[in-house]
């Protein structure tokens, strides 16, 4: 537990100070969302129709962008060797890094999403559920992504492979995430979708640290 705090703490501090991995995500998310109206035109009706989808898809893409680097930088500078030699169970190490990733990318995304939803003219009824769905969905995104990121370490085509591996796994999150918000907008119950999102998060939480840990160990070999 102590190791968890130390590791996550360092990654947080590094993210805030150095690579701006968290800021890139937010900037990317904001600017990407702002670009859509230029592409599809400014008509409020069209924008409102696609608002949820655009916010969710760009959120996923933004997370993917930063996942690429979650272990890669440590791998390249030798830090991963030292983490494997830390004597702590690797799933714990993974969990700490995922927590830091989520705090630096998922949380800012969640905080920014209402503002972007305003520019996209999301109907007012959808805001609460959008945030709730993102809160439940983004940890899954980070957890699944970590497995992919660990698997592609040291391969020559890391980035591509990662998107190929991970994006299909994001489809359920995307479907239930948008469905929840749309249900909220037309006034139908959102609990079922939110429950599914929560279930996905739990599943990812139990499985992916082990899978990612195993992948990391064979990456350093």
Partner 1 sequence: MIDDQFVPAAFTGEDLACHRGGRLVFAGLDFEVSPGNALVLRGANGSGKTTLLRLMASLARPATGTLFWGGAVVDDPEAHARRLRFVGHLDAIKLAQTVAENLVFWRALWCGPANEKIVGEAMGALGMAHLADFPVRHLSAGQRHRLALARVIAAPAPLWLLDEPGNALDEKSLAALSQMITVHRARGGMVIFASHGAAFVNDSETLDLGQFAATHVSHWSDDL
Partner 2 sequence: MHKFANPTLFMRIANAIFPWAAGLSIVLFTIGVPIALVTSPPDYQQGDTVRILYLHVPSAWSCMMVYGVIASGSAAFLIWRHPMANLVARASAPMGAVFTALALMTGMLWGEPMWGAFWVWDARLTSTLILFFIYLGYLALADAFEDPERGDKAAALLAVVGSVNLPIIHFSVEWWNTLHQPSIISTSGTSVSGAMLAPMLLMVGAFTSYYVAVLILGLRSELLNAKIRNARTSHAAAGQAAE
The footprint of partner 1 (CB under 8 A) covers 2-3, 6-7, 10, 13-14, 17-19, 76-79, 81-89, 156, 217, 220-221
Among 3, 12, 50, 167, binds partner 2 (CB under 8 A): 167
Task: Please report where in the chains the tokens 């998107």 appear, as a residue.
Answer: 163
Burial class of residue 160, CB neighbours in 10 A (0-12, 13-18, 19+)? exposed
Among 7, 52, 183, 211, binds a copy of itself (CB under 8 A): 52
Q: Is 40 in the site for a copy of itself (CB under 8 A)?
A: yes
Q: Is 159 in the site for partner 2 (CB under 8 A)?
A: no
Cβ closest to partner 2, residue 85 vs residue 157: 157
Which residues does 64 contact at the CB level (< 8 Å), separation at least 6? 145, 162, 163, 166, 167
Q: Is 206 in the site for partner 2 (CB under 8 A)?
A: no
Residue 179 main-chain phi, psi, to 5 deg? -60, -40
CB of 5 to partner 2, least distance (A): 28
- Quote the CA–CA distance of 150 and 164 in Å, as a whole number: 14
Which residues does 87 contact at the CB level (< 8 Å), separation at least 6? none
CB of 214 to partner 1, least distance (A): 12
Alpha helices (H) along 41-157 = 44-67, 72-76, 79-84, 90-101, 107-119, 127-151
Which positions from 110 to 149 touch partner 2 by CB under 8 A, shown as an x/- string?
--------xx-x-------------------------x--
Q: Between helices 44-67 and 107-119, what is the axis angle to 10°?
A: 160
Judged by CB under 8 A, the chain residues 131 through 170 that form the site for a copy of itself are: 156-164, 167-168, 170
CB of 86 to a copy of itself, least distance (A): 26
Within 13 A of 94's CA, how many CA atoms are on the CB side?
27
Q: Applying CB under 8 A, which residues contact a copy of itself?
A: 17-21, 23-28, 31-32, 35-36, 38-41, 46, 49-50, 52-54, 56-57, 60-61, 64-65, 156-164, 167-168, 170-171, 174-175, 178, 182
């Amino acid at each position: 537990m102590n190791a968890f705090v130390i590791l996550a703490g360092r990654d947080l501090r590094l993210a805030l100070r150095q690579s701006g991995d968290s800021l890139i995500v937010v900037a990317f998310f904001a600017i990407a969302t702002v670009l859509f109206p230029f592409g599809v035109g400014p008509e409020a009706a069209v924008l409102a129709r696609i608002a949820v989808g655009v916010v969710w898809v760009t959120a996923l893409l933004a997370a993917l962008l930063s996942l690429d680097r979650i272990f890669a930088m440590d791998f390249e500078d030798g830090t991963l060797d030292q983490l494997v030699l830390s004597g702590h169970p690797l799933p714990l190490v993974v969990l700490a890094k995922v927590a830091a990733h989520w705090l630096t990318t998922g949380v800012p995304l969640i905080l920014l999403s209402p503002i972007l939803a305003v520019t996209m003219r999301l109907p007012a009824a959808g805001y609460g559920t959008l945030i709730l769905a993102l809160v439940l969905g983004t940890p899954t995104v980070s957890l699944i992504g970590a497995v992919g990121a660990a698997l592609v370490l040291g391969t020559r085509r890391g980035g591509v492979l990662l998107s190929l591996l991970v994006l299909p796994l994001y489809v359920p999150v995307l479907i239930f995430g948008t469905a929840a918000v749309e249900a909220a907008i037309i006034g139908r119950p959102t609990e079922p979708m939110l429950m599914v999102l929560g279930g996905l998060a739990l599943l990812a939480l139990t499985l992916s640290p082990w899978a990612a840990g195993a992948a990391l160990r064979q990456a350093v070999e």
